[in-house]
């Protein structure tokens, strides 16, 4: 999983407000366009989800899989696949939150491995669509509160 796709957006809110939206997995189908269903399977001692099943429909990538989460307070959250789907064999990613001026810069990094062969350029384009849709949805969700 050497190739990663990264993008950032600035959101007019503090890190804790943004991280609260990121941690609210049951609400993802309302704002994360490709996420059709979410099931929090386990939570950590901090009350945040540590294991989550997703049903994703991102056009070229449609599947269901389980991710494990590692939270770093309101600074970052990373995830990796613990149960592969029919199509997705590997998935790692993170949100990193950095204070900037009167808002927060949110950087989303994602790497997806598929069980089916796919040209790298097409895979990176699909990752970019997933990231950009998620960042724009996150911004709308946070700033619309």
For residue range 108-145, what is the model confidence (pLDDT) as tens digits? Answer: 999 888 887 766 666 677 777 778 888 898 999 999 87
For residue range 91-112, what is the model confidence (pLDDT) as tens digits? Answer: 899 999 999 988 999 999 998 8
- State the total domains in the chain: 1
Question: Residue 74 is part of which domain span?
Answer: 5-143
Provide the phi-psi class of 59: left if phi over 0, else alpha when psi is between -120 and 50, else beta.
Answer: left
* C-alpha torsion angle, residues 123, 87, 141, 3 (rounded to 10): -30
- CATH number at 40 reads 3.30.530.20
> 97 with 104: CB under 8 angstroms?
yes
> 130 with 114: CB under 8 angstroms?
no
Q: What are the CA-CA distances from residue 73 to residues 4, 20, 115, 119, 145 (Å)?
A: 24, 11, 33, 37, 21
> 11 with 69: CB under 8 angstroms?
no
């Amino acid at each position: 999983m050497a190739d990663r796709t990264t993008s950032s957006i600035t959101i007019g809110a503090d890190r804790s407000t943004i991280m609260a939206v990121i941690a609210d997995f049951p609400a993802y189908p309302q704002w994360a366009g490709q996420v059709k269903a979410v099931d929090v399977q386990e939570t950590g001692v901090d009350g945040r989800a540590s294991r989550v099943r997703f049903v994703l429909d991102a056009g070229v990538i449609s599947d269901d899989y389980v991710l494990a989460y590692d939270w770093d307070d309101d600074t970052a959250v990373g995830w990796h696949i613990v149960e592969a789907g029919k199509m997705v064999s590997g998935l790692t990613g993170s949100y990193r939150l950095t204070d900037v001026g009167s808002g927060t810069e949110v950087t989303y990094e994602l790497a997806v491995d598929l069980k089916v062969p796919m040209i790298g350029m097409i895979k990176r384009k699909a990752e970019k669509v997933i990231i950009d849709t998620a960042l724009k949805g996150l911004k709308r969700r946070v700033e619309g509160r």
